[in-house]
Structure 1
């Protein structure tokens, strides 16, 4: 089969042996595969990412000198089963799969490990237990976006955004656009998106952002509607005074029970939820400094450098900081069905398609934030420019 192989940051298209599915695995023909920001990092900073992965307990991430077939955002059709499979679906069935397989009992990330070649190829091996049929005649292009949209869905669920809360999305690259799409699918009424790139701001609007801001011209915090009264620490203190005066005015009321109940029901004052989708040093500190009190910050952008922020600022505002990565199989399945039933439309994210011979060009143009968002690979195509 033909596959794009990266070694020391250089791509070559090679003829490789047909993959053989192991026990409990399926061989699929690749229909489409998305180029992910993780692939961009893996190509040029493989050793740094591998060191980080090892420090967190996963020591099988690819190294720069190794030859690896990237690609973990894919859709395809079933070709053959390995031994020990339940063979749930007929050959030719369109499927997607979580990008993880087992080799000798150990997990390997598909497309990011020498033991689990990815889908920048005509065929890829997946785990039967992690495979799902594509419902409702969903196109291969849209099905391939299940994986990145699942990352966004996990982040949105991590943020626990109320429909009446304001959500801010800082950074409108592919993951930021996916977060915007998923926030609107979750029913969040006000989404404020911010990016320096005019092209990305345009796509943010198409994905459903209610307010789109150029941070070089306007602060996203000022552009957002002023809901409630918690815009500063003084507002919290004033709210405490007003609440106590009202409660103490009621004879014989054990006012402290009201506070206990509010705590249990999470009914106290709340700030907005901010999704950091940039992954550049300094952005978290900027958010903590500028955001109103009681803000929840969900960090989705992957910053590969050491960062710093002022804890005292976060403490005084009671800023809540959360980090989101990946998804679970249930979120992956739910994302697939949200796309298939039309609740989520990933089409605006897709800005180009190339064949295997065009992957190097695609990586180059993805370095320009004013150009493409998500470029798909069609192994059957001969296109070399997206």
Structure 2
């Protein structure tokens, strides 16, 4: 079958890969219909390289069941499905206490086992969810990043009428903006240096956009909130700089949740660090997109909100490309040859 395989930093190739087959009774082989490029895929390509040389990359996707093991009863060949890419052990202390996102053996397809940038991929049956007919394939390809965003918000005490600031309007930030509105936030502030991202943020539900080039995000947010700050600040940029600045945005007694991953040290100036102590902030780290019972309410809630049309991800999608153009798409995204939101790849 055709697939995108990562051999090293900057070395992504379109070519042949081994076709997945049913080997255990609880497995499902899925024909991939649409797959999304994640920021973590770009980091693997640009900075980190593969866990395993020549691994099929990708973990955000949707498709149709091709084959199932003998023990699989909830889906059948021909069914449209969503698929959670996280593989958890189910037996470690974290899994047993109902926190699979903290599984010590947690991995994701596309890292140590073949991913979804291919015509077919394979997952345990527990990871596969029937897809309601009202959800299009391209929409369903964004279920996993949506689950990442809502997983982070579930950690917080965000309530209807609250206020939220989202630092970074990449895909996770944009989904967080829309989820914050679905949680009932009265005012959502979107913060980014890219005006086009801020434009999409407005389409995703942001009430006020902040461009910090000429005046700091902190100064603008304080002016907008009469010096109080917001109930919840979300770091979704994955930047070492914003990972420090985010502490200045919540009100006293407010919350911070980290969804971005800075691939570098985070130096924190005293001004920002003291906000944690003096304002008695609650700080959360959010990892992955699963909870118990696996794969969790992040997935079932996303499916419900997409099926009713309340969660609309279409403004995020900027490119729809054949899988064969994957290597060029990665290079263009790294070199910012165009404005890229969510890029979807379609196996041929």
TM-score by length of 1: 0.77
Equivalent residue number for residue 324 of structure 2: 357
| 1:327-338 alignment, distance < 5 Å | 327-328=289-290, 329-330=295-296, 331-338=298-305
Structure 1 residues 219 and 13: CA distance shift in structure 2, 3 A: same
Q: Is the 8 A contact 2:162 2:184 kept in 1?
A: no
In 2: Cα distance, 1:202 partner to 1:352 partner: 17
Q: Does 1:73 align with 2:40?
A: no
Structure 2 residues not aligned, in runs of 5+: 92-104
| 1:118-267 alignment, distance < 5 Å | 118-221=115-218, 223-224=220-221, 231=228
- Tell me the secondary structure at the aligned position of residue 32 of structure 1: strand
In 1: Cα distance, 2:59 partner to 2:132 partner: 20
Q: Does 1:98 align with 2:84?
A: yes
Q: Is the 8 A contact 2:191 2:210 kept in 1?
A: yes
Structure having the higher Rg: 1
- Tell me the secondary structure at the aligned position of residue 7 of structure 1: strand
| 1:279-290 alignment, distance < 5 Å | 279-289=238-248
Displacement of 1:290: 5.4
Displacement of 1:226: 7.3
Q: Is the 8 A contact 1:97 1:127 kept in 2?
A: no
Q: Does 1:28 align with 2:30?
A: yes
In 1: Cα distance, 2:168 partner to 2:23 partner: 41
Deviations 1:55-80 (A, max 9, x none): xxxxxxx43x6111011100000111
In 2: Cα distance, 1:275 partner to 1:173 partner: 12
In 1: Cα distance, 2:153 partner to 2:213 partner: 26
Number of aligned residue pairs: 323
Equivalent residue number for residue 284 of structure 2: 322
Following TM superposition, the consecutive aligned residue runs of length 4 or more in structure 1 with deviations greater than 6 angstroms are 225-230
Q: Is the 8 A contact 1:197 1:370 kept in 2?
A: no
RMSD: 2.4
Deviations 1:295-314 (A, max 9, x none): 31111111111112234342
In 2: Cα distance, 1:74 partner to 1:228 partner: 39
Structure 1 residues not aligned, in runs of 5+: 48-61, 233-270, 381-386
Equivalent residue number for residue 110 of structure 1: 109
In 1: Cα distance, 2:88 partner to 2:217 partner: 45
Displacement of 1:108: 4.2
Q: Which has the higher strand share?
A: 2
